[in-house]
Amino acid sequence: MGQFTDELKRRNVFRVGIAYLVAAWLVIQIVETIFPAFGFGDAGVRTVVIVLAIGIIPVLIFSWLYELTPDGLKLERDVDRSRSIVQHNVKKLDRAIIVVLTLAVGFFAVDKFVLDPARDAELQVRAVQQGRSEALVESYGDKSIAVLPFIDLSPGKDQAYFSDGLAEEVLNLLAQIRELRVISRSSAFQFRGDVHIPEVAEQLNVSYVLEGSVRKAGQQIRVTVQLIDARSDSHVWSKNYDRALVDIFAIQDDIAQSIVDELHILLTGARPQSVPTDPETYALYLQARHLVSAEQSPGDLPESLLLQALKRDPDYVPALNLIVRAILSVTGHEDYDKYTQEEGIPLMRSYVDRVLAIDAENSHAIADRGWMAFFYNNDLETAASYIEGALSLDPANSWALHIAGVISRTIGHNDDAIAFAEMALARDPLCSVCLYALMTASFRSGQLDKALAASERRMRVALGGWFTQGNIYLFKGDVQKALQLYENQKDNRIAWLSSRAIAFHELEDEEARDAALAELMKIDSRQAVSDVAKVYAWMGNIDEAFKWLDSYLEPQSPAFTANFTPILWDPFFRNLWDDPRWAALRLQADLTPERLDNVRIGMP
């Protein structure tokens, strides 16, 4: 054994191994630093590490078998020992090790004192983002509740709109209590009928669950509610209300107050109270809201019901707020276009103005003003001001949080968009739109693991999403996985062809790439034109990308800004971002860096 060790030393195997390990360590550190800047994810770094780990074996074998001589490399057995320059090679190897170590120490110093502080700051920001949702949940302690849809026990089983509406009204009352975390309707109402309370609590991360039933017969109503400690699945409080229908608002207020008392919540604001109206107006309003929430019909039917309600009570604020949403759903919509934007926008504004004339601090109406300023006028500054105001009045306003996220993504403030999405998810854990917002903002900011986690959560609560998840894997460097995911929605031919063209380009399969791109060019669609531009941009064919992009954007079109906004921060177009023509497009769309840097929505 001693002789073998001596022979390893004589042949410089140990020194070669040390030199290789030091050089490999330096290469890995450099790769981990620069790969993300070129779009290579963890998969690329792993590949380099694996190759270097495997490479040490042939290097050591080579150093055992060969020796460097004045005549070049020779097999060790063919070298005349009397002419060996092994000792001379030792000095060369020692110098090489010293040089590599010096480079390694230099890189370590730069990484530690220059790169590391910036990276630590970025990691801190990401840690704050990751923990913000959890911190928000934990800040409420056990003061959290989900209100499940009430069961319709009416004789005709035709009062689901009323039982759902009553539960949602109680939910909305509780949501006004800042000291209580209340799960939004879209998540809570996914649990109907005979549910397992501990499972509900686990999925929604709440301590309490309120469930109930409604029996309505003529002008009489019986409401039964029970508050359940979700952790022990035990009843905390229950109550029956046998009242006339005209007392429905008093019932709602009493339920909310009873929950406040049972959970020992110390209110810092006024006790929330229902907005009363007459029973017939209220029934029309609940029918309309049931249709809007369930998306069971075009907005003209809810609008008709709400107009009837407002004819009876012109100042009924909940109906005024809801009719804005109903009109929005049929204004400039590609599938159901009752109103043009020129007709629908003034109509919506008139209802918003009526709300604010009655209640100047109505956060829903203020958020609607923000949405119209952003979506219809590209007035980012005014929109941001309205949304910030709405959130200051009601931090749990899901509509305002959604708009805040959309605006933040539009202006490139993806960290803010992530924060708003996580705030929304703290109250609406099964919200598909919120998960999409979190996924998109994370993807655009390069936080691919966070984007992937959001994508996987979203696919558990909503159909589709294969292309987005495929794009995430593409940017992570796993092109084959991306291709597999793209195949799940090949019926969306435009996205399928453009995604495959980009993936095949990454695999250097020019024939398959060009075939997919040629098929894409045959499709007569504006979206296909946009996707052709995207493929060329990804390939680095800048001139072709701009040619197709100009065809898609139609610079003289009134819709130019609306068409350009969705692709402004699309990372598939990143090869165009430094081109003067991209800056010109941003200038024409009035989305210049100077303007966007000055727009920000403060956190509630």
Cα–Cα distance list, 140 to 52, 178, 206, 426 (Å) = 50, 9, 10, 11
Burial class (CB in 10 A: 0-12, 13-18, 19+), 593: exposed
What does pLDDT average to over the chain? 85
Given pLDDT bands bounded at 50, 70 and 90, which one contains residue 46? confident
Contact 384, 599 (CB under 8 A): yes
Q: Both 87 and 167 in a single domain?
A: no
Strand, coil or helix: what is 208?
strand
Q: Both 178 and 265 in a single domain?
A: yes
Q: Both 187 and 219 in a single domain?
A: yes
Q: Which of 86, 120, 154 is the last residue of a domain?
A: 120
Q: Both 114 and 214 in a single domain?
A: no
Contact 92, 14 (CB under 8 A): no
Rounded Cα distance, 293 and 185, in Å: 9
Q: Which of 229, 258, 274 is the last residue of a domain?
A: 274
Q: Both 189 and 249 in a single domain?
A: yes
Q: Is 60 exceeded by the pLDDT of residue 180? A: yes
Given pLDDT bands bounded at 50, 70 and 90, which one contains residue 130? very low
Rounded Cα distance, 44 and 447, in Å: 16
What six digits make up the tokens of 274? 């229902």
267 lies in some domain: yes
What six digits make up the tokens of 493? 């031919």
> If you write DSSP's letter for every residue of 126-154 in order, what string do you get?
HHHHHHHHHHHHHHTTT-EEEEPPPEE--
Burial class (CB in 10 A: 0-12, 13-18, 19+), 257: middle
155 lies in some domain: yes
Q: How large is the angle between the packed helices 363-375 and 341-358, nearest 10 degrees?
A: 150
Strand, coil or helix: what is 534?
helix
Nearest of 393, 395, 394, 369 to residue 383 by alpha carbon: 369
Given pLDDT bands bounded at 50, 70 and 90, which one contains residue 149? very high
Q: Both 93 and 173 in a single domain?
A: no
Q: Is 90 exceeded by the pLDDT of residue 535? A: yes
Q: Both 68 and 104 in a single domain?
A: yes
Burial class (CB in 10 A: 0-12, 13-18, 19+), 121: exposed
pLDDT tens track for 50-89:
887 887 778 777 666 666 555 555 566 655 555 554 555 5
Q: Which of 274, 289, 320 is the last residue of a domain?
A: 274
Strand, coil or helix: what is 393?
helix
H-state helical runs in 140-275: 160-175, 185-188, 197-204, 248-262
543 lies in some domain: no
Rounded Cα distance, 573 and 504, in Å: 17
Residue ranges making up the domain that contains 241: 144-274
Task: Select the more confidently predicted residue: 83 or 332.
Answer: 332
Identify the DSSP state of 236: E
Q: Is 80 exceeded by the pLDDT of residue 336? A: no
Q: Both 264 and 152 in a single domain?
A: yes
508 lies in some domain: no
Strand, coil or helix: what is 468?
helix
Q: Both 102 and 206 in a single domain?
A: no
Q: Which residue has the tokens 């017939």?
A: 280
439 lies in some domain: no
32 lies in some domain: yes
Q: Pseudo-torsion of CA 584, 586, 588, 589, nearest 10°? A: 160
Q: Both 114 and 156 in a single domain?
A: no
Q: Is 90 exceeded by the pLDDT of residue 167? A: yes
Residue 462 one-letter amino acid? A
227 lies in some domain: yes
Nearest of 589, 597, 547 to residue 568 by alpha carbon: 589
CA 283, 289, 294 angle in degrees (round to 5)? 130
Please count the CA atoms within 13 angstroms of the CA of 467 that sit on its side-chain side. Answer: 13
Q: Is 50 exceeded by the pLDDT of residue 243? A: yes
Q: Both 163 and 203 in a single domain?
A: yes
Q: Both 155 and 270 in a single domain?
A: yes
Handedness of CA 289, 291, 293, 299 (dihedral sign): negative
* pLDDT for res 26: 73
Residue 349 one-letter amino acid? R
What six digits make up the tokens of 9? 């030393």
- Is this structure's pTM higher than 0.95? no
Rounded Cα distance, 64 and 67, in Å: 8
Rounded Cα distance, 465 and 484, in Å: 13
Percent of the chain with pLDDT over 70: 81
Q: Which stretch of 252-256, 339-343, 420-424, 545-549 has the lowest confidence by average pLDDT?
A: 339-343
Contact 144, 205 (CB under 8 A): yes
Length, in residues, of the chain: 604
479-487 LR contacts (CB < 8 Å, sep 24+)? 479/503, 479/506, 479/507
Contact 112, 119 (CB under 8 A): no
Given pLDDT bands bounded at 50, 70 and 90, which one contains residue 93? low
pLDDT tens track for 438-456:
999 999 999 999 999 999 9
Pair type for strands 220-229 and 208-217 = antiparallel
Query: Max Cα separation, the chain?
Result: 115
CATH code: domain of residue 184: 3.40.50.10070
Given pLDDT bands bounded at 50, 70 and 90, which one contains residue 269? confident
Cα–Cα distance list, 535 to 424, 528, 575 (Å) = 34, 10, 11
* pLDDT for res 174: 92
Domain count, the chain: 2
Q: Which residue has the tokens 């971002």?
A: 577
163 lies in some domain: yes
Nearest of 200, 208, 197 to residue 262 by alpha carbon: 208
Cα–Cα distance list, 354 to 5, 319, 362, 370, 372 (Å) = 91, 11, 11, 16, 16
Q: Which residue has the tokens 């693991």?
A: 449
